[in-house]
Amino acid sequence: MTRLTTLQAVRKYWPQYKWSSIWEMARNMRAIPEVCDDDFASKLVVITGGTSGIGYQTARKYASCGAKLLLINRNENKSVAVCDKLRAEFGVDCTYLLGDLSRLDHMHRIGQALSELNDPIAVLIHNAGSYLSRRTATMDGLEMNFALHHLAPLVINHLVLDKLTSQESSRILVNSSEGYRFAIWGVRTDDLNWEKRRYTGLGAYGAAKMSQLLTMMIFAESVRGTGVTVNAMHPGVVRTNTGHENGKLYRRFKEYFIDPISQTPQVAAEALYFLGVSTSIEGKSGCFFHLTREEEVAPPARDLDVAERLWEISHAMGKLG
């Protein structure tokens, strides 16, 4: 099946949009997450991007409830410092793996390492991400947003799947974004690397986040009944270092317009703990949460035909058998 033209996409998706869903999203922007303080002692939690922002605060939340932590980061000095701090403050086991999750070889190495762990993985949180206002190619020639936000979680999930399904249960959480809506007419599966059209930061970010949601549908269905669940979460508008790689104009815009209305990363951390631990959502899978409120996604994120095509292409790009 060839890609939809913009006009075809408008005709297909526009009738499916509901104003009620738009208002639901708007209401959720003012929501605060439900809180869960259940004990999670000695259960292993894996978090990508755990040295700052949402990832670090999420690690702290899980550590405060007794979890064992395995953090996946790029920087060794920061990893050592974070693990030392969490061990000293909470008395928990904290270790790390080093990897650049924009690189295919590192995605595979991390996924393989997780598959060989002796301890069961109770919660796997895909948090690593970035926002780029200029097109940046990875060393594998992939568009950076697509590689980091979409392909890395997909590759790691694929490689760790046998381990997770052999356990009694496991929860996979993807730190997603309402920004998927910037891909208003869906994902162009013929140009996932943004080589055939003008690049925009919001468009590429939205397409990568939309890709997360589309393939989550397929993955959730494939693990149905195994005890493994996978869900995505919008963390709210959060004040983090995301986008610091961009130019002065974007950094000034973020400093003066985005950060003043942003929440602290602790808010998102509370939501990620609730979604990883709370018994109230046990068995829920393939869902999108705005913090802890389940929300219906926009029509292009529910397109099964595109999801199946993207699933096949992504597996080929990720060099998965």
Pairing of strands 293-294, 68-73: unpaired
Residue with tokens 């509901």: 18
139 token code pair: 């060393």
Residue 250 lies in a domain: no
What share of the chain has pLDDT > 90, as a percent? 78
Query: What Cα–Cα distance (Å) separates residue 269 from each residue in 94, 113, 130?
Result: 17, 25, 17
pLDDT in tens, 160-208: 999 999 999 999 999 999 999 999 999 999 999 999 999 999 999 999 9
pLDDT in tens, 51-86: 999 999 999 999 999 999 999 999 999 999 999 999
pLDDT in tens, 244-288: 444 454 344 434 334 444 568 899 999 999 999 999 999 999 999
Residues forming a β-bridge with 234: 290
pLDDT of 38 > 70? The answer is yes
Residue 258 lies in a domain: no
Residue 109 lies in a domain: yes
What's the CA gap between 278 and 34, in Å, rounded?
A: 10
CATH number for position 117:
3.40.50.720
**Residue numbers of the domain that contains 185:** 6-237+265-317
* pLDDT reported for residue 258: 43
9/109: higher pLDDT: 109
| 303 CA to centre of own chain | 19
Residue 249 lies in a domain: no
pLDDT of 221 > 70? The answer is yes
Beta sheet of 94-98, edge-to-edge order:
94-98, 68-73, 44-48, 121-126, 170-175, 228-234, 288-290, 293-294
232 token code pair: 């995505």
pLDDT of 142 > 60? The answer is yes
Residue 283 lies in a domain: yes
For residues 63-101, b (16+ Cβ closer than 10 Å) or e, as one string? bbbebbbbbbbbeeebbeebbeebeeebebbbebbebbb
pLDDT in tens, 289-317: 999 999 999 999 999 999 999 999 999 99
Residue 242 lies in a domain: no
* pLDDT reported for residue 83: 98
pLDDT confidence of 7, banded at 50, 70, 90? Answer: confident
What 8-state DSSP symbol labels residue 125?
A: E
Mean pLDDT of 207-230: 97
What's the CA gap between 70 and 266, in Å, rounded?
A: 19
* pLDDT reported for residue 263: 67
Contact between residue 57 and residue 83 where contact means Cβ atoms under 8 Å apart: no
What 8-state DSSP symbol labels residue 148?
A: I
CB atoms within 10 A of CB 125: 28
* 23 Cβ contact partners less than 8 Å away, ≥ 6 residues apart: none
Query: What Cα–Cα distance (Å) separates residue 125 from each residue in 263, 269, 298?
Result: 20, 11, 23
* pLDDT reported for residue 238: 58
* pLDDT reported for residue 231: 98
Per the structure, the count of domains in the chain is 1
281/23: higher pLDDT: 281
Residue 1 lies in a domain: no
What's the CA gap between 306 and 232, in Å, rounded?
A: 18
Q: Which of 39, 35, 232 is nearest to 149 (CA)?
A: 232
pTM of the model: 0.90
* pLDDT reported for residue 245: 46
Over the chain, what is the mean pLDDT? 90
* 5 Cβ contact partners less than 8 Å away, ≥ 6 residues apart: none
pLDDT of 20 > 90? The answer is no
* pLDDT reported for residue 44: 98
Q: Could you tell me where the beta strands, DSSP code E, fall in the chain?
A: 44-48, 68-73, 94-98, 121-126, 170-175, 228-234, 288-290, 293-294
pLDDT of 3 > 80? The answer is no
Q: Which of 259, 275, 284 is nearest to 176 (CA)?
A: 275
Q: Could you tell me where the beta strands, DSSP code E, fall in 44-203?
A: 44-48, 68-73, 94-98, 121-126, 170-175
Helix axis angle, 152-166 to 304-317, nearest 10°: 90
Residue 135 lies in a domain: yes
